[in-house]
Structure 1
């Protein structure tokens, strides 16, 4: 969000509430009901139906207080200082405090994204010889903020306090019987209105506030928009901090692309893929494991070409507990078939595939059969620490493990690759590791660059670096799926699922290549994080669910 729009909130909040001032208003507000102004549905009723998306942020102190159970003392002090600095920056020219003046009355906050206003021709008086500017200024999407008023007396007190601040100018105008307050600070105007004494509506564009008033007066709202009523129920997360609602995913992306500085028009193929997703709702919450994000996409089953399958998760057990990052899934060959099918409708993708196919044919490799054809089972890619041989400079290596029902084709492919490596002056050698025959690509005086071999009848691995081959083929430590770190990050994620993305933050931040890039402050924050996990599932053809967990250490 541009700076001019990100700093308009505070002065406009108080300026708008000023209009309910006065003794008569005070008397009325003292006994006025609080209503449902602090919930997402109530806020959505004053947001215009043209809104592309909306985010609802709770101000419930119990939900935010839950975060205090996590983090090292050093990290908590750093975060507290950051919040204190932010508070000072926002109120640098006043004696206003968020904790004392705003928090007591501000209910939940809904931030809606409205379509941009039409671009207006630029009219500038330019000197002779000056370059001609673009004919139009590309508009930005309109931001509309709706703040629930949960304590009207506190809101009034804050408004009166703000009214006395220096450097803030107020101007009133009438629209549909509602008073719009124009607040100007440092030359930047903000527009706001209080609707039914329950909602404060504000925006950096007057037209956005006028549209909210039209909605309040009876025009269609975001809450009444087709498909919104279901997603406004939100996602079930404990101690919800925020919910995001996107009723028309493809339409939103189209409008945002058109409003970009380049005015991009999406290709038909891209638009067709976007239309597979009808709507999206996401929630952020805090539970005993850390900060959890859940997202649910409503799909069009007629347009979905890829058939979801769950992943057994057995292949994770082939990796040692030292593994600090891992991605696993199922059926690469099916995914590849989907890409090939989609390329029929995309000339650019089809051309790229044909180029790759042609290049591999020169070395007697069939891209579809030899590379992807046999990858029909579960797979995983893992990163494992090592500071030996070719891995000494980076501090880690990687391993790919595949389950396949077509061992014959897989073996033929590796034979072709070994033959190709010999033509590049790479030494091909055999080695027995833990009773398993392993083929290594060796570089003089540096050891093995790459190794591959079979862990059992149906499972093959490819490792970067000799030490990684040892760790996979002759695992001496506990398997990754049995480790406490992996359980802490992935154990509470939904099952069955399509696989995991897993990151052990404690191991990752100690890697030399990572440690050299992060600051002392960043290291303090990262020290409070155990790891990061993501998974996805599809209960039916019309639903796809994503879950992410930022696993945090408990405060001591």
Structure 2
């Protein structure tokens, strides 16, 4: 199936760089032994079943995704044959002994790769296949587990060896491109997707092509502007199917079947793989058309994207240590492409999945393209750092609007006040979200949403409902006074609102808001208190209490120990509001240990940009401890639950922030990970 070929080719090389570390020795020793290893491997393959039945067993036991398996196995078999070539074995020895043959080319950089991509490409990506980058991930327990899982799902037929199959002839980066849409012609995966691999060993590439040419039944060869293109049919079984030998009853399959839903995916057309080789590069696609566009760009008949300033910034970032993936997007062109691709991919999925894809398409249709024109490009990178994994998005602005300038003004002063808000949160906080000026963001958001007729109608109905029930204006009385810094957080507490639903809920919610208009805030609270008392037929009361010198107002039920809401003006301009009296009593006058002083929070936020627009933070340890309490005891010993808990539990925290300059908007997310357990 095309989508799996695409995703497989895109990710498998990087993932196999990582997973093959368990199989491969260091490059130095591997290169000396590669021929012997390949011959030994062939002997083992031949000896497993008599009379060629091994191939049939492979066909029955591989994961039930023939297109992906066929694509991987086709390439893998050809690469293995290349590795057996005595000329290549000799060259490996020369490389190992530092004698450089004349046919070794310098390694192409991502900047060089980008010169092959058209200037109007909607999406360009770069994947690092540096062995050290991927191997370093296994120092984290989460990726150590993921590596073991990926190996289980790889086709059994694949005999991948990174040192032999990649490092011996490919460069350190892979380029990915989606070609621009032409006119009103719908885009498909075949017509747009291509990958480019820099090559460092011409002899190894020529050996690969010689092997491919021999497969005359599958391979069609043609020329385009002096470049040879190989069009390969990959969905036909490589080894003729024969009746497999009966497997021993106790035997377990070496690979795990794909989930049942994937078995329903429709293989609606022939699966193809197109290969083109021109000086310094190998290009792959699902069809030859995007490869022709690459050749046109390389020959200079169309402009390339390498001079684009935003792409140049991305290529610079991609060179930083630990970067695994980076991507450039032209927002407007990409949106047009994405709409067509969702429609194309939907044809491969069973009817029960179409609802999800239709919803995705509807959400794209509702995006205002005029607003996207405010952005030159959106760049993103994924990299590892000592604490864990870092994901970053940078949006390059055409120009900063007055509204955006207002949002970014006085950032350092705002950040100091936000830090004071974080100091009001307890150390064991489950999650927190801070920022400034809810009122401004609400105005911008509501204006944006009101461009969608259905949403505009819904917002109008909501405002009318609030007005009728509370006699208050939602925009002015609820949101209007929230014009300074704020913080939302959840935390462990044995009292308050959620105790009513479960005695062991151990959960509370808090909101801290700084305001420039306390009078409006107090007026709103007073009116809501009157509504609370009048609508309960005398069963509720508003209490004023003093906790260690701090005045607290709580809404309580006269009978029983139930308090749904409490608040306190902890500073002249700062309101703390929580889910009940029991919850607020843990926070005033101050938490015993403040969130801002904890190791977990500082580790999660210290490497994020500062000044910024606020933080998102989730303490995975305390959050998971709370959530596990809801898992019934009979499921606690379930093997799947155990593995899931082990994987998720290796994430210490997730944090994020947004920042802005005159030219860019930036979002950063950090996942702090536990080290691999010995």
TM-score interval (norm. to shorter): 0.7 to 0.9
**Is 1:285 equivalent to 2:383 in the alignment?**
yes
Residue 464 of structure 2: aligned partner: 358
Per-residue deviation, 1:201: 0.3
Partner of 1:330: 436
Aligned residues of 1:14 and 1:159 also touching (Cα < 8 A): no
Change (3 A) 1:153 1:446: farther
Which residue of the partner structure matches residue 542 of structure 2? 429
1:384 to 491, 494, 504: 491
Match of 2:219 in 1: 170
Q: Which residue of 1 is the match for residue 606 of structure 2?
A: 491
For the 8 Å contact 2:137–2:143, the answer to whether it is kept is no
2:482 is aligned to 375
CA shift in 2, pair 1:61/1:189, >3 Å: same
Structure with greater contact order relative to length (CA < 8 Å, sep ≥ 6):
1
Give the distance between the partners of 1:9 and 1:228, measured in 2 at CA. Answer: 34
- Provide closer, same or farther for how the CA distance between residues 460 and 378 of structure 1 changes in structure 2, counting only shifts above 3 A: same
Q: What is the rounded CA distance, in whole Å, between the counterparts of 2:160 and 2:364 in structure 1?
A: 46
Distance verdict in 2 for CA 1:178–1:547, change over 3 Å: same
Q: C-alpha deviations, 1:503-529, integer Å up to 9, x for none? A: 111112211358739832222222322
| Aligned equivalents of 2:561, 2:336: Cα separation in 1 | 51
**Measured at CA, do residues 201 and 332 of structure 1 come closer, stay the same or move farther in structure 2, by a change above 3 Å?**
same
Tell me how far 1:69 sits from its aligned partner. Answer: 3.4
Q: Which has the higher strand share?
A: 1
Q: How does 1:130-149 map to 2 (within 5 A)?
A: 139-140=188-189, 142-149=192-199
The CA RMSD measured in Å over matched residues stands at: 3.6
Partners of 2:647 and 2:79 lie apart in 1 by 38
* Alpha-carbon distance between aligned partners in 1 of 2:230 and 2:651, rounded to the nearest angstrom: 44
How far off is 1:259 after superposition? 4.5
- Hey, what's the Cα distance between the residues in 1 that align with 2:384 and 2:367? 38
Task: Write out per-residue CA displacement over residues 177-203 of structure 1, whole angstroms, 9 at most, x where no aligned residue.
Answer: 21111222223221011111x211011
* CA shift for structure 1 position 207: 0.9
> 485-494 or 504-513, which moves further after superposition?
504-513
The CA deviation at 1:370 is 0.8
Pick from 212, 219, 238: which aligns with 2:321? 238
SS at match of 2:525: helix
1:2 aligns with 2:6: no
Structure 1 residue 411 and structure 2 residue 522: aligned? yes
Higher helix share: 2
* Cα deviation, residue 265, structure 1: 10
Q: CA shift at 1:333, angstroms?
A: 1.7
Distance, in Å, in 2 between the alignment partners of 1:78 and 1:17 is 28
Query: How much does 1:490 deviate?
Result: 0.5
8 Å Cα contact 2:555-2:565 kept in structure 1: yes
Which of 217, 235, 254 aligns to 2:299? It is 217
Contact 1:44/1:222, CA 8 A, preserved across alignment: yes
Closer/same/farther in 2, CA of residues 264 and 489 from structure 1, 3 Å limit = closer
| Residues 48-197 of structure 1: pairs in structure 2 closer than 5 A | 48-71=118-141, 75=142, 77-86=144-153, 88-89=154-155, 92-98=156-162, 100-107=164-171, 108-115=173-180, 139-140=188-189, 142-155=192-205, 169-187=218-236, 188-196=271-279
**What is aligned with 1:124?**
none
Aligned mates of 1:153, 1:269 — CA distance in 2 = 50
| Structure 1: unaligned runs, 5 residues or longer | 121-136
Match of 2:651 in 1: 529
Unaligned ranges ≥5, structure 2: 9-67, 92-99, 237-270, 344-357
Query: Could you tell me how far 1:486 is from its partner in structure 2?
Result: 0.4
Moved more, 433-442 or 480-489: 433-442
Deviates more, 1:234-243 or 1:315-324: 234-243
TM-score relative to the length of structure 1: 0.84
The one-character-per-residue Cα deviations of 1:453-472 (angstroms, maximum 9, x if unpaired) are 22121111221244321222
The whole-number CA distance in structure 2 between the counterparts of 1:230 and 1:554 is: 34
